[in-house]
């Protein structure tokens, strides 16, 4: 199989539909301290499909609300703007990709792994003084390049999945060996095309090479959370392998094994509820 050229990838990704208006507005809100929350709520509410999925997550057992929320505005009041923003970005971006024509790609395992990384990243962020909702968003979206491959290059990704099984190697290695590009690089292209904030772009582009990113980005955090999720087999995928942990990411973040031990029970408790809500 011939490697994918950068031009091939760019050309195909440019054909993707635009992000929903609410998602675009929310992406700019990360760097804007004077967010017009009411205007964003109106944008989300006008997109009925997006609003319905967000309310489904808000009303899931994950948030443990005493009563159901019936509107986006109510969700913002009850669980907060940042939490709603994470939900909208997660369901709004991933919903753009149709992956049913890629043999071997397991969407359920993909979603479970993203949720696992998001939950671990949020718990770590809370402990280490980072933005927990940004970390959760980065975890959900970190493997977005895989969805882009499954939707736009299904034959190529299917071959990489078969290569992974044959050689018992991580998917990122199979992609590089067979395609000449990996899902992290493709995720970085998507993040740049869609004007993601730099720290969120690093979660997609650099989570397999965090030393290439700056210490204040999400790359270290998502890399560690990715390794933990793989190590625990949260994706429930028979091909899940324990990935090596980058020493730079571990040291820059200052991870303590005792912290990981402390956060994991809550992560495991939240896992099923979140997966059901985002499905």
pLDDT tens column, 160-199 = 999 999 999 999 999 999 999 999 999 999 999 888 988 8
Indicate whether 27 pLDDT > 90.
Answer: no
- Structural domains of the chain ordered from first start: 17-96 (no CATH), 97-279 (1.10.3210.10)
CA–CA dist 6, 70 (Å, integer)? 45
pLDDT tens column, 109-131 = 898 899 899 999 999 999 999 98
Q: What is the pTM of this model?
A: 0.88
- Cα dist from 262 to 123, 131, 237, whole Å: 10, 19, 25
Angle between helices 144-152 and 154-167 (to 10 degrees): 120
- Which among 197, 243, 230, 190 is positioned nearest to 216, based on CA atoms? 197
- pLDDT at position 241 is 79
């Amino acid at each position: 199989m011939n490697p994918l050229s950068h031009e091939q990838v760019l050309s195909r990704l440019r054909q993707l539909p635009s992000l929903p208006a609410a998602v675009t507005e929310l992406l700019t809100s990360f760097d804007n301290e004077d967010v017009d929350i009411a205007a964003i709520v109106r944008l989300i509410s006008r997109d009925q499909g997006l609003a319905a999925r967000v309310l489904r997550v808000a009303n899931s057992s994950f948030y443990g609300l005493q009563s159901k929320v019936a509107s986006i505005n109510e969700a913002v009041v009850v669980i907060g703007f940042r939490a709603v923003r994470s939900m909208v970005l997660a369901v709004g971006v991933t919903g753009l990709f149709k992956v049913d024509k890629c043999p071997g790609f397991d969407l359920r395992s993909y979603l479970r792994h993203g949720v696992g990384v998001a939950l671990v990243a949020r718990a770590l962020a809370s402990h280490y003084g980072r933005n927990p909702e940004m970390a959760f968003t980065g975890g959900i979206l970190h493997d977005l390049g895989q969805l882009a491959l499954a939707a736009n290059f299904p034959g190529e990704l299917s071959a990489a999945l078969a290569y992974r099984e044959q050689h018992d190697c991580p998917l990122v290695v199979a992609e590089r060996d067979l395609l000449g590009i990996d899902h992290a690089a493709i995720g970085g292209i998507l993040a740049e095309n869609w004007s993601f904030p730099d720290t969120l772009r690093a979660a997609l582009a650099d989570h397999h090479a965090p030393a290439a990113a700056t210490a204040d980005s999400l790359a270290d955090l998502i890399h560690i959370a990715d390794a933990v999720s793989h190590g625990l087999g949260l994706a429930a995928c028979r091909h899940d392998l324990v990935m090596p942990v980058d020493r730079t990411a571990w040291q820059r973040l200052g991870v303590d094994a005792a912290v990981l031990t402390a956060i994991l029970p809550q992560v495991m408790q939240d896992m099923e509820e979140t997966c059901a809500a985002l499905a």
